[in-house]
């Protein structure tokens, strides 16, 4: 499969023709795009990819909701939906280094100087109360100013002028670290913001791990071949050669501007903050570029981000508890883990592994392997019947978590809790679950007593 978004959309057209809708009727990018995606999901239980050909105020068509289905993401990874975890883990275990090429479709059109105009892009406003138009699908590519360590991340961008945006850098994460290093040296941080990519690139960008892990090599692992990169026209930053569009930028040292409120994945519209300022030096794009939007805080956003999170958490718990059976991220900052507990204390180790592996994790529930973590009722049942709060809750105070959690007093400075909802001292020794005897279950036929 090609590494570009159009190759992926062609595969969707062939394999899932009902899941790509082209809308030619004019649409207002302020609220209407998000409203249509959410209404389709609510009123018709449908979540297709939508391509809006005729968006008011711009020549660029807008593509959204690409990631809103597990089977579509699986198609991007060339695997079955239930094999996504193992496919992702394999890409993390066996990353493939990227390859630099000389010419790229992403640079068919190059705009610099006075031709840089962010207002020519779709001015998408997602939710009521948002401070203005946001770019939600941009993946940042940047290098540590002092080494060859590269990072990719999703960062929301608020359009602030013809060549200016603000950027949300998650406090304490990798791009934030690069920016702090550059700022201490009084330097700009060169970065590129990439818009419109194959979903394998999107999933790879969201890999969670050490700052030394190269997301670009995980993207290669997901493709099964090296990711093709090209050098930016105005900097040494490397970007995917097959992207739809690239903003070549710098984060300015010592500058901040008002950003937000913005409706986020937490389900809240968090208020205004002072954030870093980005200057756009060039815009490059394909001649027929599509502009990609991510319908923020809905399935397009949530499914995309939880698959890489679950893979990383599974890997981290498995390093501590080899008999881990399942991991699920069902809600913001929350993780359920099922383990086959062979030794007392392993549930607590699983809790510590989760907190050590992902900054965002704030609540962990560990259950035995007979509980299905994908069924919230079973989790509630285990919490109610296998847990004593005074004995089984672990509190971690004064830690670092998400800076988007509205319940903290200071952005990102948070307590965390782990709940051991496994049976004590062990599932084998615990009060048995009731059942009718298996031989009766097997013998009895409904039709003998209650004919249809």
Question: By three-state DSSP, how is residue 55 classified?
Answer: strand
Tokens of 14: 């062939």
What minimum distance in Å lies between the beta carbon of 15 and Mn ion? 32
Judged by beta carbon, residue 156 or residue 174, the one nearer Mn ion is 174
Tokens of 74: 């699986």
What minimum distance in Å lies between the beta carbon of 221 and Mn ion? 15
Number of neighbours of residue 11 by Cβ within 10 angstroms:
17
E strand map for 196-272: 228-231, 238-240, 245-259, 262-263, 269-270
E strand map for 46-180: 49-52, 62-64, 99-100, 109-112, 134-135, 139-143, 150-154, 157-161, 164-167
**Which residue's Cβ has the minimum distance to Mn ion?**
174
What minimum distance in Å lies between the beta carbon of 150 and Mn ion? 8
DSSP 8-state secondary structure symbol assigned to residue 106: G
Question: By three-state DSSP, how is residue 437 classified?
Answer: coil
Judged by beta carbon, residue 126 or residue 174, the one nearer Mn ion is 174
What minimum distance in Å lies between the beta carbon of 441 and Mn ion? 51
The strand order across the sheet containing 20-23 reads: 20-23, 49-52, 62-64, 291-292
> Footprint of Mn ion on residues 147-166 (CB under 5 A)?
151
Judged by beta carbon, residue 121 or residue 142, the one nearer Mn ion is 142
Which stretch, 26-34, 84-92, 143-151, 219-227, contacts Mn ion (CB under 5 A)?
A: 143-151
Judged by beta carbon, residue 214 or residue 259, the one nearer Mn ion is 214
Question: By three-state DSSP, how is residue 325 classified?
Answer: strand
> Footprint of Mn ion on residues 317-346 (CB under 5 A)?
none
Judged by beta carbon, residue 174 or residue 298, the one nearer Mn ion is 174
312 near Mn ion, rule: CB under 5 A: no
Q: Which residues make beta-bridge pairs with 273?
A: 259
Judged by beta carbon, residue 70 or residue 180, the one nearer Mn ion is 180
What minimum distance in Å lies between the beta carbon of 256 and Mn ion? 23
What minimum distance in Å lies between the beta carbon of 167 and Mn ion? 16
Number of neighbours of residue 163 by Cβ within 10 angstroms:
19
The alpha carbon torsion through 364, 369, 370, 372 (nearest 10 deg) reads 50
Query: Per-residue contact track with Mn ion, 165 to 194, x per CB under 5 A?
Result: ---------x--------------------
Which stretch, 106-114, 145-153, 395-403, 408-416, contacts Mn ion (CB under 5 A)?
A: 145-153
- The residues of the shown chain that bind Mn ion, judged by CB under 5 A, are 151, 174
């Amino acid at each position: 499969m090609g590494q570009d978004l159009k190759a992926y959309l062609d595969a969707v057209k062939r394999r899932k023709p009902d899941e790509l809708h082209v809308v030619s009727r004019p649409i207002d990018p302020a609220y209407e795009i998000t409203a249509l995606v959410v209404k389709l999901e609510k009123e018709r239980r449908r979540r297709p990819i939508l391509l809006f050909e005729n968006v008011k105020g711009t020549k660029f068509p807008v593509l959204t909701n690409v990631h809103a289905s597990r089977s579509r993401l699986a198609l991007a990874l060339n695997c079955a939906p239930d094999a996504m975890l193992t496919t992702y883990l394999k890409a993390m275990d066996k990353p493939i280094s990227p390859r630099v090429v000389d010419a790229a479709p992403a640079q068919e059109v190059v705009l610099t100087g006075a031709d840089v105009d962010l207002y020519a892009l779709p001015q998408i406003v997602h939710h009521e109360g948002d401070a203005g138009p946001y770019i939600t699908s941009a993946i940042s590519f940047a290098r540590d100013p002092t080494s060859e360590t590269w990072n990719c991340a999703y960062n929301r961008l608020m359009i602030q002028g013809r060549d200016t945006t603000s950027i949300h850098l998650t406090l304490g994460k990798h791009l934030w670290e690069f920016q702090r290093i550059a700022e201490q040296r009084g330097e700009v941080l060169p970065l590129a913001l990439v818009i419109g990519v194959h979903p394998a690139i999107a999933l790879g960008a969201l890999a969670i791990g050490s700052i030394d892990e190269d997301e670009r090599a995980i993207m290669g692992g997901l493709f099964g071949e090296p990711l093709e990169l090209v050098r930016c026209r105005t900097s040494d930053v490397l970007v995917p050669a097959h992207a739809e569009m690239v903003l070549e930028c710098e984060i300015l040292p010592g500058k901040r501007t008002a950003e937000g409120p913005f409706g986020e994945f937490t389900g809240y519209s968090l208020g205004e903050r002072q954030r870093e300022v980005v200057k756009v030096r060039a815009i490059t794009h394909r001649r027929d570029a599509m502009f990609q939007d991510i319908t923020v805080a809905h399935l397009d956003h949530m499914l995309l981000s939880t698959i890489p999170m679950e893979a990383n958490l599974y890997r981290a718990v498995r390093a501590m508890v080899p008999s881990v059976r399942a991991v699920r991220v069902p809600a913001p900052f929350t993780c359920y883990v099922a383990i086959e507990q062979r030794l007392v204390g392993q549930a607590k180790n699983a809790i510590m592994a989760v907190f050590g592996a992902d900054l965002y994790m704030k609540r962990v529930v560990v259950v035995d392997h007979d509980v299905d973590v994908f069924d919230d009722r079973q989790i509630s049942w285990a919490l109610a019947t296998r847990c004593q709060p005074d004995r089984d809750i672990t509190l971690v105070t004064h830690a670092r978590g998400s800076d988007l959690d509205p319940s903290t007093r200071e952005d990102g400075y948070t307590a965390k809790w782990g709940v051991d909802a496994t049976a004590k001292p062990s599932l084998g020794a615990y009060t048995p679950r009731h059942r009718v005897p298996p031989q009766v279950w097997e013998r009895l036929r409904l039709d003998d007593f209650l004919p249809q």
